[in-house]
Chain A
Amino acid sequence: MATRISDYAARSRDAIRDQPQVRTAVTGATVAFDEKRRRAYGEVDADAWRRWAEAVKNHLLTHLDDYLAEAEARLEANGAQVHWARDADEAREIVLGLASRLSVRSVVKGKSMLTEEVELNPALERAGIEVIETDLGEYILQLLDEPPSHIVGPAIHKKLEQVQELFADRLGTDPGGDPDELARAARGVLRDAFINADMGITGGNFLVAETGTVALIENEGNIRLTTSLPRVHVALVGIEKLLPRMSDLAGFLQLTTRAATGQPIGCFVSLVQGPAAHPGDDGPEEVHVVLVDNGRTDVLLHENAWEALRCVRCGACLNICPVYRQTGGHAYGWVYSGPIGSVLDPGLLGLHEAMPLPFASSLCGACFDACPVRIPIPELLLAWREEAQQEGLTPWKERTALSALAAAATRPPLYRLAGKLGTRVGATRAARSLPMLRDWSRDRDPPRPSPRTFRDLWRKGIK
């Protein structure tokens, strides 16, 4: 998979310098999201809900073999067809195979990070199939040929003026058109797309094993339409998205939306069991569910990282994250950004490919407080850092310096000497010679040591 993760440090610097409007837009949107999340958590016993959700997902992930088999059997009993994809290639191949067998010329899509992950759109387009993103944010980004920058609000990094300009150019709207007018214009275009599409493609927020229900949460109604109007519906679902029972779904639908946008529930929830079941039932002729691994079993097999598979992709950790807020998602270089991206990407892609994301955090811990399934993101970041050090994926100077610190710190006289040399004698020279400290002083005034150390003052006596 092509990622641009490795130059995170440079690209985040560029983004902050060259695109100040992104930082303003992202900070504004995420602060607002986070406030709504806080209010929504405050209305319920959020602590108890989160502990419950954590336990349900832990149960699910430690019984995933049973539940996958149950989900498959239920879906097939419902008349849906189940496919298994080990990786992105297989996922694309399955969808392309269906499209060709069913003579699909036009596809409408509901927002799905998994289809971004497996790079489905370009593959469909290469096969000559028209693909239209129908979530308003995704539609904007499709026109701009940009990837989403946030898992819930894909276009939060765009300001109104940018959309005005884009729509004036592409849809002929008034350059000063208000959001209502712009949305109406997009609705017009997309309405035709829904009615003409042969296939609707979505992700899935949850898949209930007990009933074979693919659950999808949204606010616009585009996913309801995508799963209802075309003659074929294909849902790509990560294998970790299962829930054991329908009663679990009731809690997860509410908790996820509260965490994501602060709403009690999405304006629209689609519960898809399969195709039109019997005469009098309305809907697609065929429903296909593609169960996708693509690195998830690697994560599940990892000693620590498996906990990241509890993630319900609510975006709460992105919204509260002070690191994410400075750049938005693009700087991270792959589909999953922010705190969850920094712990999930190393698992899905391999740590080497995802460097330096585990280090793209100040470990402030805010994400854990927001996460509805209590993923210990700071601990997982540390676990990945540990692995990175052991595999030699960090600069050797850094490792050597820290080893030296540890060696000195267990020998007090040496430590005292090194401390004095480091802060007083060496500080200015070090600042010039060590690239690490050069970066620090590029953005900040250098620290000024106290004239005398506390240790000296203590020896002299404190009155």
Chain B
Amino acid sequence: MSGPTAPNRREPHGDGPRARARILARVTRAAALRDRLPHPGRLDTPVPPDPVATFVNRFTSQGGEVATPDPDRAPRDWLTTFLGELGAGIATIALGADVPPGLQPRLPGAAPAHADAGISMAWGAVAETGSLILPSTGTRAVQLLPPLHVVWIPADRVFARLEDALLEMVPTLPGSVGLHSGPSKSADIGQTVVTGVHGPGRCIAVVH
């Protein structure tokens, strides 16, 4: 182990002020070797004309699913029926802490590790990348552990571009944000794509 400093003096800064000062000094010295180059400004990515349609398109092409509630029914009743009709044997659900009663399906609750489905609220969605934005003000285990993840997303919260969404989030960023752009996937075994590794194998965005 390098350095004579006693380990307990390194908390919480590792080798403490000395490592920090030394790294920053070297970085500053390097900066003096060359011109300080300007920032190029924003990257202009194309703005999808119909964000909701683009979101649906991209999200489904990445393996996600999209559902639209029946406007004539109470949302929680519609979702209860919808889950029953999925044919996936959804008997229990885990609810994110921020799901309002009106959006909670009438099914027995279970711990996230054992529930058949997790129900979450998206803060927003992104058309450009087909992503749902899931803040940690929801319940992370609900977003990740059940094999099916159902996410409520208001149609007017679909942002055209990722940058638009991220910038709007900046002032109120929670501890963590997850962008979920379809189900969990891996191609690590023999280069064959499998779904549902670790995270949910199905992800349904309910656009309402």
Contacts and interface: CB of A to CB of B under 8 A. Distances in A.
Interface of A: 25, 28-29, 32, 44, 48-49, 51-53, 55-56, 58-59, 62-65, 68-69, 78-79, 81-87, 89-91, 93-94, 97, 101, 134-137, 140, 153-156, 158-161, 163, 178-180, 182-184, 186-187, 190-191, 194-195, 210-211, 213, 219-222, 224-225, 227-229, 239, 244, 246-251, 253-254, 263-277, 280-284, 287-288, 290-291, 293, 297, 300-301, 303, 306
A191 B12 CA distance: 31
Contacts of B91: none
Contacts of B113: 191, 195
Interface stretch (B70-78, B79-87, B102-110, B172-180): B172-180
B23 interface: yes
Given A29-B191, A247-B167, A64 B27 contact: yes
Contact of B162 (A65, A254, A297): A254
B162 A55 contact: no
Given A187-B198, A251-B163, A56 B40 contact: yes
Nearest to A64: B27
Nearest to A92: B1
Given A84-B15, A97-B10, A190-B198, A247 B163 contact: yes
- Closest 9 pairs (CB-CB, A-B): A221-B199, A160-B190, A137-B188, A250-B163, A55-B40, A297-B26, A228-B140, A83-B14, A269-B179
A254 B129 contact: yes
B24 A280 contact: no
B198 A220 contact: yes
B199 A268 contact: yes
Contact of B14 (A32, A191, A290): A290
A290 B10 CA distance: 12
B183 interface: yes
Interface in B143-194: 143-145, 161-163, 166-167, 169-170, 173-192, 194
A141 B10 CA distance: 33
B28 A62 contact: no
A62 B169 CA distance: 28
A181 to B, nearest CB: 9
Given A55-B37, A86-B19, A228-B176, A283 B140 contact: yes
Q: Is the interface of B mostly helix, strand, loop or mixed?
A: loop
A293 B137 contact: no
B47 interface: no
Contacts of B182: 267
B178 A270 contact: yes
Nearest to A286: B12
B7 A93 contact: yes
Nearest to B189: A179
B192 A179 contact: yes
Contacts of B139: 282
A228 B27 contact: no
B31 interface: yes
A276 B62 contact: no
B194 A264 contact: no
B166 A220 contact: no
B192 to A, nearest CB: 4
A267 B184 contact: yes
Contact of A81 (B12, B140, B141, B184): B12
Contacts of B69: none
Nearest to B113: A195
Contact of B35 (A62, A159, A210, A221): A62
Contacts of A90: 2-3, 14-15, 19
Given A62-B34, A83-B12, A267-B62, A140 B188 contact: yes
Contact of A68 (B1, B24, B35, B192): B24
Contacts of A49: 43
B137 A282 contact: yes
A183 B19 contact: no
A264 B58 contact: yes
Most chain B CB neighbours (cut-off 10 Å) among A248, A271, A293: A271
Contacts of B129: 253-254, 264-265
Given A62-B31, A187-B198, A272 B175 contact: yes
Contact of A224 (B40, B62, B161, B199): B199
Nearest to B33: A301
Given A195-B113, A220-B186, A267-B63, 7 more contacts: A55-B37, A65-B27, A89-B2, A136-B197, A183-B186, A190-B198, A280-B137
Contacts of B191: 25, 28-29, 32, 156
17 contacts: A59-B40, A63-B31, A90-B15, A136-B197, A160-B190, A179-B190, A187-B198, A191-B113, A221-B184, A224-B143, A246-B167, A254-B129, A268-B184, A272-B176, A281-B136, A282-B136, A284-B175
Contacts of B28: 65
B154 to A, nearest CB: 20
Given A62-B37, A250-B166, A277-B174, A221 B43 contact: no
B75 to A, nearest CB: 22
Contacts of B200: 221
Nearest to A223: B198
B22 A306 contact: no
B187 to A, nearest CB: 7
Nearest to B19: A84
Nearest to A284: B175
B137 A281 contact: yes
Contacts of B180: 267-268
Nearest to B24: A65
Given A65-B31, A283-B176, A301-B30, A94 B62 contact: no
Nearest to B22: A86
A179 B31 contact: no
Interface in B99-137: 113, 128-131, 136-137
B129 to A, nearest CB: 4
Contacts of A56: 39-40
Contacts of B15: 84-86, 90, 93
Contact of A249 (B26, B136, B166): B166
A146 B83 CA distance: 44
